Amino acid sequence: MNYPDFSSQEFYERYHYDGELGAIYHPEGTVFRVWAPTASQVWLVVYSTGSGGQGVEIPMARDVQGTWTAELEGDRHGLYYTYKVLVNGSIHEAVDPYAKACGVNGLRGMVVDLTRTNPPGWDNLKRPPLRRFTDAVIYEISVRDISSHPGSGVRCRGKYLGLAEKYTRGPGGVWTGLSHLVELGVTHVQLMPCFDFASVDESVSPPKEYNWGYDPLNYNVPEGSYSTDPFRGEVRILELKQMIKALKESGIRVNMDVVYNHTYYSTSSNLNKLVPGYYYRQDAGGSFSNGSGCGNELATERSMVRKLIVDSVRFWAEEYKIDGFRFDLMGLIDIPTINEIRLVLNEIDTSIMMYGEGWTGGCSPLPDHLKSLKWNVRQLPGTGVFNDDLRDGLRGHVFHADRRGFVSGSSEMEESVKFGIVGACYHDQVDYQRVIYSKGPWAAEPAQAINYAEAHDNLTLWDKLQASCPDADEETLIAMHKLCGAVVLTSQGIPFLHGGMDFLRTKHGDGNSYRSGDEINWMDWERKYRFRDVFEYYRGLVALRKSHPAFRLESGEEIRRHLRFLPTPPGVVAYTLQEHAGGDPWETIVVVYNASPHAQEVKLPGRGWVVVVDGERAGTGSLGQLEGDAVLAAPRSAMVLVDEASYMSAAGS
């Protein structure tokens, strides 16, 4: 099919539309406006229900800049609708890309009065305080996974309302769900996709299918399978807001995993039905390009695609009070689009986070210099990327289960760990030629580095350690796991934890569990009870980080001034944070990571030290004192020590 030159200046000037699109509700009437510049006729089709029944077709009028409009008088809240378009001699029916509510399975949009979807107190709900991005501790969860386990103690298992339940307990009386998040002390939850996705049949409860949700259907509508009533379009909106409200009232900010790089359907997607060929990149042969690995990729560099994404992010930030956005395969989104989103979010609240995967899922026709890749992050002020150098440096290659990392005995990963410790910023003591992937610093500031060892993708850390160290006993594997967590939570940048990592989450070796079902994907609260000491260790590390700004420096210059690496034997990395780094009450902090199977001695800058972290316990309280100028670090363990004078002074103040 021959398409117009969608990327031309002529097309832009003739058809770019800056105004509001979608079903624009007022109590006196609703205006429908859809962008379909290549259509020769468009009809609004209205329905009384979200599925089934016959619709009534209403011709729409061609209006400015490629838009079509229709208006219905009266209060139309709850009216379901679609658009029919005649393009190139074919008629297709599509859901409004700007729909804010929908019927079951997202097959029809719904007119919604959003003020009716606000729970009591919503208008006065504030974002929990966040002074700087490096103050964040992010915890990735799925709405379904956090409560679907039979031992979760949650009534509305797998639902938005399940995460809104307070004081739920599991095996042995351990806190679960929302109370678990509060107990751990994280500042942000990152919700895996909870916009409307295609692969789970919402009409069946509990749903037969399982999916992570990286298969977008309707970008501005909450997923219905997490709702108690997916048939009424307003219910899922209310319940998502109730969940967000419960989290914020508990002091936890809410980040959202968004997938603007592709859609589940390609030729038959709503976008492609409305304006064939416009919303997606094509290869030289005119076929959908596949940089996502999912069959298509959005042409984010085109003005109305960019507008769709920017408008969507703005909507979630304003209507749902979302506090941050994690962009799936952000490398497929062009740099100007990401920077425009950042500017829009800054207008709303500068503390809203932006970060994403600084890579693609395959080859894309978008030129590399325009991709929001890890190596281009200096062109993305206020936006961060995941630090795969630290991830694979710590645990071993993500796609090779048997490969080892620093914590599991590799002798070649010390510089990759140091790279993570300095938040991917320039530091004169890092040998970049020995870093696993990046041969130079890519972050302009530490907040651009999202440090992690585990996420929903690939093997969990526990499964990876088991696969790469098949002869290690449980005690050794736990020591490696805790050491890995200690590095993530004491490095400069922004730490990111996968939900359940704090109690050795396993997916039983399934490295791509996106549709593997609840029994593989749920957070198993039995493990929190069984590995309570591991949870307490992670909890102590979170408390240490939150209490001491030395671990949360704001600039690369501060890191270079205050953080200095110490001479160490192979398998050991150690450094100091000096001169009350970041205004910390502790004057000198020493951090030691010993990944070797033997105790190792590290010389200290002076005498008289208080231990606050060792291989068994972590926090801010004293675990013991050292009088000398050296410490013997236990095998496969982390240590944090503080000079005795400033520790005692801070404790007495």
Residues taking part in catalysis? 328, 357
Q: CB neighbours of 303 closer than 8 A, spacing ≥ 6?
A: 12, 16
Q: CB neighbours of 647 closer than 8 A, spacing ≥ 6?
A: 586, 610, 622
d(CA 370, CA 379): 10
d(CA 533, CA 478): 10
| DSSP state letter for 566 | P
Extract the tokens encoding 573.
């990395």
Element at 611 (helix H, strand E): strand 609-613
d(CA 566, CA 418): 11
> Beta strands of 49-201 (E only): which ranges?
56-59, 61-62, 67-73, 80-87, 90-94, 109-110, 138-141, 188-191, 195-197
Burial (0-12, 13-18, 19+ Cβ within 10 Å), 306: buried
d(CA 204, CA 200): 9
| DSSP state letter for 275 | S
Q: Which of 459, 456, 457, 455 is nearest to 467 (CA)?
A: 459
Element at 484 (helix H, strand E): helix 474-490
Q: Per-residue b/e over 536-570, b at no fewer than 16 CB within 10 Å? A: bbbbbbbbbbbbbbbbbbbbbebbbebbebbebee
The amino acid at residue 454 is: E
d(CA 281, CA 266): 11
d(CA 414, CA 574): 10
Q: Which of 141, 235, 116, 261 is nearest to 194 (CA)?
A: 141
> Beta strands of 490-532 (E only): which ranges?
494-498
Q: Which of 99, 47, 332 is nearest to 218 (CA)?
A: 99
Report CA Rg, the chain. Answer: 26
Cβ atoms of 165 and 116 closer than 8 Å: no
d(CA 270, CA 211): 21
Distance of CA 631 to the CA centre of its chain: 38
How do strand 637-643 and strand 609-613 relate by DSSP bridges?
antiparallel
User: Which residue shows structure tokens 């739920």?
Assistant: 168
